[in-house]
Chains A and B, each alone.
Chain A
Amino acid sequence: MSFDTLAVVGLALLGVAATGAVVRVGIASSLADRVIALDLLVVIAVMAIAIESARDDTTAFLDDLMVVALLGFVATTAVARFIERRGAR
């Protein structure tokens, strides 16, 4: 059992989670629902980058991690403000 095998298992699980989140975006009943699923998707993306970086033993993408996480937060907040102004539909 090497890290590589376990990492692939982890990535597969994240893939399942991501699929769930994406489907949620599709069948969501309101904008709030969608943005929550998308926020989860952002975190999943960050985790996937981290796992893949560890697998390939490269530190090149660690900066991207931070940017993606921050952008995810900014996007969520922006949509939240939008919902407050224009309703959740």
Chain B
Amino acid sequence: MTELVAGGLVVVGSALTVISAIGLYRFRDVFARVHAAGKAAPLGAALVFAGAALQFGELAVAARFALVLGLLSLTFPVGVHMVVRAAYRSGTELAPDVTVDELSDARRRRDEG
């Protein structure tokens, strides 16, 4: 029974990752794409780790998975943010039909004012 649950977690986590990979194609600009890739990855990893740890059945192993997951959850979003910030600052365009961009408004105000 444990095996089934563990395996199920692994499959669901992997499926989530496939979805986030699809997200890379579906969205039209960089900023939307990071939402797909950057959110599902830690969650998919959490599920897969939970399944793997369950399969191992040892507390020490689970603790190490928890440590890696904690690390991943803290560092992955930071990496995503840095890429987004760099992309914006270096002039990457938002999708053409985006109407709201308060950052560029603020920048323009700063440059004019």
Contact = CB atoms under 8 A, between A and B. Distances in A.
A39 B33 CA distance: 13
Contact of B79 (A13, A21, A59, A77): A77
Contacts of A1: 4, 7
B24 interface: yes
Contact of A32 (B49, B76, B92): B92
B78 A39 contact: no
Contact of B25 (A11, A24, A82): A24
Q: How large is the interface on B (under 10, 10 to 19, 20 to 34, 35 or more residues)?
A: 35 or more
Nearest to B17: A17
Contact of A88 (B4, B33, B48, B91): B91
Interface in A34-89: 35-37, 39-40, 43-44, 46-47, 50-51, 53-54, 57, 59, 62, 65-66, 69-70, 72-73, 76-77, 79-84, 86-88
Contact of A10 (B11, B20, B21, B80): B11
A18 B84 CA distance: 22
Contacts of A36: 24, 30, 33-34, 37-38, 80, 83
Interface residues of A, number: 53
Given A6-B6, A39-B41, A77-B82, 16 more contacts: A1-B7, A3-B10, A7-B10, A14-B14, A33-B24, A33-B30, A36-B33, A39-B80, A40-B20, A43-B42, A51-B51, A54-B6, A54-B56, A73-B75, A73-B79, A88-B91
- What are the nearest 10 A-B pairs in CB distance? A6-B7, A20-B21, A80-B82, A13-B14, A76-B79, A83-B86, A54-B52, A73-B75, A32-B87, A3-B3
Interface of B: 3-4, 6-8, 10-11, 13-15, 17-18, 20-22, 24-25, 30, 33-34, 37-38, 41-42, 44-45, 48-49, 51-52, 55-56, 61, 64-65, 67-68, 71-72, 75-76, 78-80, 82-87, 89-92
